[in-house]
Chains A and B, each alone.
Chain A
Amino acid sequence: MRHFKSIAAILMGLAPFFAANAHAQIAGSNSVGISPFANYQDSFERLAKAADRASFDAEMARLVELIGTDQSTAIEQLLWYSTKHDQHEKTPALVGGVIKIIGASNEAMIRALVPHLDNVDSELRGRAARWLVGCEDHSAVRPPDFSIYRAIIEEDIRANREPQITLVRHMFQSDAAAALLTMVRACQLRDPADIKPILWAEHTVADLLWKRRNGFVGPKDTSQEAVAELETLSRHSLWWVRLFAAEVIRNIPELATPGMKERLQSDENGAVREAATRKQD
């Protein structure tokens, strides 16, 4: 009986690992979790229930002291709190207010949140992704600023590791062109002969999209050049280049050559397969 309990305990202990591993097979990297810290969570709760400005300020002062210089932990704990108190409409304001008061920088937000793109909890993964969008300076007048992720990606490249696949996927889902250019730089490509074909292909596709956006061609018009360049990229040796092709034809299927989508759907890379399979936005 005691032996049985031990096995059960071991299996219970391994459960999160199995769950994390299932996600890792999809995401292509390790999964993480957040353990709620009672002192943080209680403090957030007291802030949420503060009856007056004085008690709010006092609790905030205690929280700032608790956080000290460890903003990453505070941000993770806020992520957990936000998810668990999602039904309260004022939770986003409280969380945003705390982040503002503790002066968390974009750098701190990204360092804290990017690992949770691999979180075993889909709610936390999704929320981390949405908070990251808020750090990327999205605008209609310029591409998002993914340079904030370069340091993280470069660390992996320099250590001969694959970059965090969920981070790469996050960028490509948000803006494939900006993501491609970020990856070209962050992945330390050195030979112009390697860089130029990618840049030219992206430029060709971007040119068509620019012409569409500004009415120089019809909203559904294509160009042979763009189709040809995407076809070439879809056969590239670097998976994140193929991911660009997959993301583009996902939203603009008329740019795919016959059989291209099916080929990307059976790509050796999980992120590419997933992008080629996912529905249009």
Chain B
Amino acid sequence: MLQSALIRFILFAVCFLPQPARAQVGPQSDSGPRGGACDACDINCDSIRDIQDVAAFADLLVDSSQPCDLCTGDLDTNGLIDGADVQPFVECLLVSQPQGACCLDAATCMIATESACIGLWLGDGATCDFNACSFANLTAYRPQHGSGYFPFTKTAVLDEDEENALTGPGIRINAPGDSDPSGEDDLIELLIETGRPEIPLTLVRTHTALRLWTNHTKVAGTEIAFINDETPALTLSAGSSSLTLWVEWGESAHGNGEIQLKPLAADYPLDVVRFHTFEDIVMSLGGEGQVTTVPVDPNNGTFVVGIALYEQGFDVHMYDEDNVAADGSGAVYNEVVTAVRDRGVSRVAIFGYSHGGGSTYDLSERLDVNRPGIGIFEIVGTSYADAVENDSDIDVQQELRRPPSTAYHANHYQVGTLSDFFLDGGPVPNSNPSPTGLNVETTPWAPVRPTSPSTTTCRFEVTSKQILLRGSCLEGEPFNVFAK
């Protein structure tokens, strides 16, 4: 009897007072995005305040059945479900409850009230437009050199590569004791962009070696601390929708780990970037008079190839060959030694054109001679393009010596012509194509097949991480210049 009276009373109220469009905001609701909180008015816990809750409320009142959530039915929050809750219950059913996009993960969006949203509620009126829940993005860049990116342009890691532990963002080990010849340049730039600056974001790491800084030279006080591998809410400048941070691999052991961008109030990643430590280093040496420039001179083939490799994720260092002295010493040697000693690099590749080929020999020889003091490494591949010894600027002797200790050597040479005053390379023992390399004038050139904007004129094709370079412009079977 009491039950039907209550139902009639509540039905009367619901039927004859103005109806809400759908569910409404409850009295406990906070403003702004939040996950699904306990809603005292949602009596049947179906995340919607509607007529179905009336009967459930009546049940609670009459038979003391267990509420489906802690606060359910206790509208006046006095700890009891009783007659004092009836009036607030009626009122809460009648109050309009706004809806908005509710993100369960970066790809799953539904329209719900804030209280009904068990993911990230984007706010009143937010719609599930394309990528609504993937409103923030991480972009990692390829490594720096010295105080900036020269001789490369600032190059973002492609979205399709950013979680790949081979082609994704490589990072140099930067454990204590590492000394960078050109200054601190081992941190990787990480750009955070958000379409909803009002939603607090956080970063999560999956490896403790990953550290974050707001400054690429690690100025004291610019590190962002992780607490249980998660940062506090990231602080964007007022009016800004982006933030630039710098990622460091601060341990001496190799590894890989993710940086995940997440909403502070939800447990799903908006974007993920996987960093892997560099175990290789690639040295590219130009010919006499060839200097690194931005943009690259398309006639400087070794630099064109170097840039293509850099874009693919290798730690490439490009130099004027004059940075290798005739005894192999100099800035290039120092860079390799530092890489092996301080950064755990164990594989070295070197290639050069003309005098850069001669310098490839000189550098390889010095690295090989001084191994005991450098550390464990392998010269995995070398390549000459028309190599000439480089004892001085006017040295015109063909470089006919195989670089010492190289695991794989490619050699391409031509017969000198008047255009370069008969300067040329020559056959080198135990080179590829076997047995002494290739006199390119004995093989017709196929049409150049551009593989990327920066390799349209080169004689090599960069193919994959596993196979560094292939002579793709030659007819017949392509050959590996060197393989990783």
Chain A residues in contact with chain B, CB under 8 A?
A: 50, 52-53, 56, 82, 89-90, 92-97, 99-100, 130-131, 133-141, 144, 212-216, 219
CB of A140 within 8 A of CB of B327, answer yes
Looking across the interface, which residue of chain A has its beta carbon closest to that of B394? A96
Give A213 to B365 CA distance when docked, in angstroms: 14
**Chain B positions within 8 Å of A213 at CB level:** 370, 372-373
A142 CB → nearest B CB, Å:
9
Comparing B94-102, B415-423, B429-437, the segment that makes contact with chain A is B415-423
Indicate the member of A93, A96, A144, A215 with the most B CB atoms within 10 Å.
A93
Q: A134-B326, A139-B328, A215-B373 are in contact. List 20 more A-B contacts (CB 8 A).
A: A53-B418, A56-B418, A94-B421, A96-B423, A97-B396, A97-B421, A97-B423, A100-B396, A131-B392, A133-B391, A134-B392, A134-B393, A136-B326, A138-B327, A138-B391, A139-B365, A140-B362, A141-B365, A141-B369, A215-B372
B471 CB → nearest A CB, Å:
25
CB of B325 within 8 A of CB of A90, answer no
**Chain A positions within 8 Å of B391 at CB level:** 133-135, 137-138
CB of A133 within 8 A of CB of B418, answer no
A176 CB → nearest B CB, Å:
14
**Chain B positions within 8 Å of A135 at CB level:** 391-392
Give A44 to B372 CA distance when docked, in angstroms: 48
B296 CB → nearest A CB, Å:
16
Give A219 to B370 CA distance when docked, in angstroms: 12
CB of A93 within 8 A of CB of B418, answer no
Looking across the interface, which residue of chain B has its beta carbon closest to that of A215? B373
Give A97 to B424 CA distance when docked, in angstroms: 11
**Chain A positions within 8 Å of B423 at CB level:** 93, 96-97
CB of B327 within 8 A of CB of A212, answer no
CB of B394 within 8 A of CB of A214, answer no
The count of A-to-B residue pairs whose CB atoms sit within 8 angstroms is 87
**Chain A positions within 8 Å of B372 at CB level:** 213-216
CB of A133 within 8 A of CB of B392, answer yes
Looking across the interface, which residue of chain A has its beta carbon closest to that of B326? A138
Count of B residues near A, CB < 8 Å?
30
CB of B394 within 8 A of CB of A92, answer yes
Give A206 to B421 CA distance when docked, in angstroms: 42
With A92-B393, A133-B326: A50-B370 Cβ-Cβ less than 8 Å: no
Is residue B366 contacting chain A, with contact meaning CB distance below 8 A?
Answer: yes
**Chain A positions within 8 Å of B288 at CB level:** 89, 92-93
Indicate the member of B341, B368, B396 with the most A CB atoms within 10 Å.
B396
**Chain A positions within 8 Å of B419 at CB level:** 90
B357 CB → nearest A CB, Å:
14
Give A91 to B52 CA distance when docked, in angstroms: 92
CB of B392 within 8 A of CB of A144, answer no
Give A95 to B395 CA distance when docked, in angstroms: 9
**Chain A positions within 8 Å of B394 at CB level:** 82, 92, 95-96, 99, 131, 134
Looking across the interface, which residue of chain B has its beta carbon closest to that of A82? B394
Give A133 to B327 CA distance when docked, in angstroms: 10
Within 8 A of A (CB), among B283-329: 288-290, 325-329
Give A236 to B418 CA distance when docked, in angstroms: 55
A158 CB → nearest B CB, Å:
30
B164 CB → nearest A CB, Å:
36
CB of B420 within 8 A of CB of A93, answer yes
Indicate the member of B329, B370, B372, B393 with the most A CB atoms within 10 Å.
B393
Looking across the interface, which residue of chain B has its beta carbon closest to that of A131? B392
CB of A139 within 8 A of CB of B421, answer no
**Chain A positions within 8 Å of B329 at CB level:** 140
Nearest 3 pairs of A and B residues by beta carbon: A134-B392, A138-B326, A96-B396
Looking across the interface, which residue of chain B has its beta carbon closest to that of A140? B366
**Chain A positions within 8 Å of B422 at CB level:** 97
Give A50 to B420 CA distance when docked, in angstroms: 11
Looking across the interface, which residue of chain A has its beta carbon closest to that of B390? A134
With A52-B418, A97-B421, A139-B327: A219-B396 Cβ-Cβ less than 8 Å: no
Give A130 to B390 CA distance when docked, in angstroms: 11
Give A150 to B325 CA distance when docked, in angstroms: 23
Mark each residue of chain B from 360 to 400: 1 if its CB lies under 8 Å from any CB of chain A, else 0. Answer: 00100110111011100000000000000001111110000
Indicate the member of B365, B366, B392, B423 with the most A CB atoms within 10 Å.
B392
Looking across the interface, which residue of chain A has its beta carbon closest to that of B366? A140
**Chain A positions within 8 Å of B325 at CB level:** 138
Give A216 to B362 CA distance when docked, in angstroms: 24
What are 6 contact pairs spanning A and B, CB under 8 A? A92-B393, A96-B394, A134-B392, A138-B327, A139-B328, A140-B329
